[in-house]
Amino acid sequence: MTIESKIDLTKDVKVASIDDFEITWFDRITLFISHTTKYLTPIIVLVMFYEVFVRYILVKPTMWANELSLWLAGIIYCIGGIYASRLRCHITIVSVYDLVSRKTQRIFDLIGVVVLNLYAAAVIYGGYFDAKNSFMTWEKLGTVWDPPIPAVMKPLILITIFLIALQSINNLIVDWGKEKKKAYDPTKDI
């Protein structure tokens, strides 16, 4: 069963997803963006398949295939950060986190969200004018194919960081009332 089949976008009620996290309105945005972006992966495969075919069979390599695949992979990588944040796949020092009470875990969670949001604010503040200038002038890569990779990726990185920061706040709100549970179970690795 897929996540899409468990989500009814027409209702405003909160439902549980298959990964045991409550789905809020913001999670729906994250899931939509993530699940839409995943279709870029087969495009990369097709582009690289075409490049291998024309390079080694027809001996006529392209000037665009490698850059296009890197561009699309960069987009997937950025959006993957938002999805990973939704799934709480970030790094947690479980050797300390698991030993403390749920109240202390909440304090750790709050500190983590504050630090992440301060970092996000600093990166967005520091990169805004460069990203804006890059987008407004439609900055290109400067290669033979000359795609507008900087014009797309610089703003996308800032948007991604902003969405990860919002997702961390969303996760904090959703997880706040939950009971204590181990973040890591070493028996699952056996």
Q: What digits encode the pLDDT tens for the residues 22-79?
A: 788 999 999 999 999 999 999 999 999 999 999 999 999 999 999 999 999 999 999 9
Q: What is the rounded distance in angstroms from the CA atom of residue 132 to the CA atom of residue 120? A: 17
Q: Which two tokens stand for residue 157?
A: 């990185």
- Predicted confidence at residue 183, as pLDDT, reads 63
pTM attached to this predicted model: 0.82
Q: In sequence order, which ranges of 38-139 are alpha helices (DSSP H)?
A: 40-52, 65-86, 94-97, 102-136
> Could you read off the pLDDT of 103-150 as tens digits, one per residue?
999 999 999 999 999 999 999 999 999 999 999 999 999 999 999 999
Domain boundaries, the chain: 15-183
Q: Which residue has the tokens 């987008």?
A: 135
The structure tokens listed for 34 are 């993530």
Under 8 Å between Cβ of 131 and 157: yes
CB 1 within 8 A of CB 15: no
